[in-house]
Amino acid sequence: MNGLIHYPDVDEILVVLLSSVQKVLGDQFVGMYLYGSLSSGDFDPSRSDIDFLVVTRAELPDETIDNLAAMHRQIAGKSSKWANKLEGSYIPRSALRRYDPANSRHPTIGVDWEFGVNPHGSDWIIQRRIIREQGVVLTGPAPKELIDPVSAEEIVRAVREILQGWWSQQLRNPALLKTREYQAFAVLTMCRALYTLRHGEVASKPVSARWALAMIDRRWSPLIGRALVWEEDDGIDDVVETVDFIHFVIDGIN
């Protein structure tokens, strides 16, 4: 394994995941990569997930997808706290090169959803940029050999689409925002969106939040500050202010 994360318990589950994936995929396996906080340097063992990408040679047959589902169920049963912190996708090499909404249904698993074949939204324009530029190679070709350059214009357009689509929907039915974790996630994601809209670049959530504290209306500073240090049982409920902040960001692009 080329990429060393320097968190022994994380490395342990990654070794299990990589070896299990290679066994299931066989000749279909091209490479495995990490992105998100593990590639940005902002990994926090108390709250981060393990974001991974597996690249395959071609679309996977149903039997292989079923075997991957069984593999993930087996991993989820392990005692490691990271066994249920895996968020990843299995994307064919040809589909990975550029995001195509007409070819965006791929096997995926997440903390909040079970393994299955699901559509990948335009946020995968952004994820491609992150993986291409700073992805951690566990094994396989360099990401720049697999993914075409992603322009600033494409990233900004993707952020606008996500804000006007997914996040506008959350405002109409903010059930997810009732949890403390998701309130913090939403606030930090809005900071990240603002940073990208301003700079045409992708920064981590903590970096974007610290930028926002210095650059946007100070009335949001307490909310952003609490999101940066949130704890599951901190007794804070920021749902009203979080909804207002999402409105503020979305209204700013209209």
CA distance 93 to 3: 20
Residue 1, pLDDT above cutoff 60: no
What's the Cα-to-Cα distance from 120 to each of 54, 71, 116, 170, 206, rounded to whole Å?
A: 14, 22, 12, 18, 24
Residue 4, pLDDT above cutoff 80: no
Tell me what the mean pLDDT of segment 176-182 comes to. 89
CB atoms within 10 A of CB 165: 13
Q: Return the CATH number of the domain spanning residue range 8-146.
A: 3.30.460.10
pTM for the whole structure: 0.92
The share of the chain scoring above pLDDT 90, in percent, equals 83
What is the residue extent of each domain of the chain? Answer: 8-146, 152-253
